[in-house]
Amino acid sequence: MNQLSMKPPIRILHLEDNPRDAAMIRDRLGADGLACEIVLVDERKSFEAALAGAAFDLVLCDYNLPDYDGISAMKLAQEKQPGAPVIMVSGSLSPEDAVACLKQGTTDYLLKQRLEGLTPALKRALDEAEERREHQRAEELLRQAEVKYRSIVDHAVEGIFQTSPDGRYLMVNAAMARILGFASPAELMEKYTDIARQSYVHPEQREEFERRLATDGSLSGFECEYYRKDGTRVWTCESARAVRDEAGRLVC
């Protein structure tokens, strides 16, 4: 069975002390076919109470109020509901005041005499807010993936390292440091900065080591004798591969 899902109405908190202007804005949005649930408040106390309640998709603010000003209202809205864009609507707004609003973080501003631009501004503000949320979600997923990767690398029993295309160490894990006799990855990276030209690679193997890295940036099953920090020797089996970007350029 097919089901049609309808988008819920846009929840708008509207701070406006003039009932006629509030009705004019409501009618404008309705005439433009925008499904809205508008919570109208006309003074500071009720505005603050509304912000403390359920989430809104967008906030409309009159710039001039008897007991409040638009900038203060906008700042409070950003503090209490940072995901909701704020659009300033006023009967009179000087260019200086408009610039001040935008600098303070208002998404847009409109004059009540030009409400034909209200619906496009509202849609644009909502689209931008959704893009920011998508970006934040992507960043959070990336952060979680990095934490997971870091945990796997840090707890691995094999030595793991990452270098730049020119061979500089970008990362070594605790096992790598331990295999080479260092107390920490930081100590190892402080002593050795280049993977190929380090004294812990046996001199007889450095040429082949460098040749393989220079040819295709990879090592596969390469048995290599390392010198540990205390001078003792340890045999390792190296496996490494080059990482390239979409253009084929070597990244690491």
Radius of gyration of the chain (CA): 30
Q: What is the mean pLDDT of residues 168-175?
A: 83
Q: DSSP characters for 176-225?
A: HHHHTT-SSHHHHHHH--BSSS-TTB-HHHHHHHHHHHHHHS-EEEEEEE
Total-model pTM: 0.61
Tokens of 231: 């001078």
Q: What's the one-letter identity of residue 168?
A: R
Query: Of residues 215 and 169, which shows the higher confidence score?
Result: 169
Q: What is the pLDDT of residues 90-105, one digit of tens each?
A: 877 667 777 777 777 7
- In the predicted model, is pLDDT for residue 200 greater than 70? no
pLDDT in the model for residue 190:
80
Q: What is the pLDDT of residues 25-36, one digit of tens each?
A: 999 998 998 889
Q: What is the mean pLDDT of residues 123-146?
A: 89
Q: What is the mean pLDDT of residues 7-25?
A: 91
